[in-house]
């Protein structure tokens, strides 16, 4: 097992340790063309704050990019390890080149650094953090206690985060979209069946119920005081897996849904440029789309 790397030592220490393990690192700051840099499809953060990026872009246009982006070689281009928001904002600001630090990291090290950077900046919602933890546990083959030490979290907080992945896809999506809190979600987990879990989550959204109110309703439900939700289609586990992979691949929110009459995939986009970006990712077509005059 690799040596433990603790968040409290800071990202710089983490990056240096990972680079020493690989034996390949360029500590100097280089300049790279923006079009030679591409986002990491394994980035734990899948939701992009376009408003925040626009604000950062205005600052970069005025003062330049002050902090280098961390990248690793990826074919003929470079893949972002940390700093995707800065890259997007720089591209929006019209910069042709950006300062970078080039390091050689494997997939596990890249994921760990990206996850820790986002945790430090509080850029991850609870569902993104939970999937990041799950991937690190699997790829690093470490225990929850080891993971807690690496990311400077308590063992209980790691366990609670991972429990959110036991929720139905519909409820996870509500947490992902910040329509219900992680506290609501943990209270809902007290109910054993998915149908009632979805019902309670919908009550939070529709009625603005507090966490305490949901805890009370969950206890009543377990005791038989609340009728079970009516029969509804149960989505296969593959729907959840596909939605998660599409979110990472397209770097936007994706939902795979099933109702009585139809099944559908919903892909969110922010504007015309974002729609064109998604089109190109899906089709591989780099030609400009024809727009109405």
Average pLDDT for 212-236: 70
> How many domains, in total, are found in the chain?
3
Question: Residue 233 pLDDT more than 70?
Answer: no
Q: Over the stretch 130-188, which tens digit does the pLDDT of each residue have?
A: 888 888 888 778 888 888 887 778 899 899 999 999 998 889 888 888 899 999 999 99
What are the CA-CA distances from residue 28 to residues 24, 100, 103, 129, 205 (Å)? 12, 9, 10, 31, 50
What is the model's pLDDT at position 166?
92
Average pLDDT for 110-114: 76
Say yes or no: 83 and 192 in one domain.
Answer: no
Of the candidates 160, 192, 211, which is a domain's last residue? 160
> Annotated catalytic, 84?
yes
- Rounded Cα gap, residues 43 and 276, in angstroms: 21
What is the model's pLDDT at position 188?
94
Half-sphere exposure of 15 (CA within 13 A, CB side): 18
Query: 47, 79, 84, 128: which one is catalytic?
Result: 84
Say yes or no: 125 and 250 in one domain.
Answer: no
CB-based contact 186:164 (threshold 8 Å): yes
pLDDT-above-70 percentage for the chain: 78
Band of residue 121 on the pLDDT scale cut at 50, 70, 90: low
Say yes or no: 134 and 200 in one domain.
Answer: no
Whole domain around residue 124: which residue ranges? 7-160
């Amino acid at each position: 097992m690799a040596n433990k790397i603790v968040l409290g030592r800071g990202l710089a220490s983490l990056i240096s340790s990972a680079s020493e393990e690989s034996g390949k690192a360029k500590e100097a700051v280089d300049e790279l063309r923006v079009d030679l840099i591409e986002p990491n499809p394994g980035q734990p953060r899948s939701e992009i704050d376009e408003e925040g990026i626009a604000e950062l872009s205005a600052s970069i246009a005025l003062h330049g990019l002050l902090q280098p982006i961390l990248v690793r070689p990826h074919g003929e281009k470079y893949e972002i390890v940390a700093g995707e928001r800065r890259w997007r904002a720089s591209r929006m600001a019209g910069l042709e080149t950006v300062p970078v630090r080039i390091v050689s990291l494997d997939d596990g090290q890249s994921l760990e650094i990206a996850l820790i950077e986002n945790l430090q900046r509080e850029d991850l919602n609870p569902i993104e953090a939970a999937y990041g933890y799950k991937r690190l546990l699997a790829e690093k083959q470490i225990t929850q206690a080891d993971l807690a030490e690496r990311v400077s979290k308590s063992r209980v907080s790691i366990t609670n985060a991972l429990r959110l992945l036991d929720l139905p896809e519909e409820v996870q999506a509500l947490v992902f979209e910040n329509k219900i809190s992680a506290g609501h979600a943990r209270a809902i987990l007290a109910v054993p069946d998915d149908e009632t879990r979805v019902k309670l989550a919908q009550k939070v959204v529709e009625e603005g119920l507090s966490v305490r109110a949901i805890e009370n309703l969950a206890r009543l439900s377990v005791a038989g005081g609340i009728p079970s939700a009516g029969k509804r289609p149960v989505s296969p586990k593959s729907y959840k897996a596909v939605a998660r992979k599409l979110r990472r691949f397209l770097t936007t929110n994706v939902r795979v849904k099933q109702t009585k009459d139809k099944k559908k995939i919903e892909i969110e986009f922010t504007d015309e440029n974002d729609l064109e970006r998604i089109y190109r990712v899906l089709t591989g077509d780099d030609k400009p789309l024809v727009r109405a005059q």
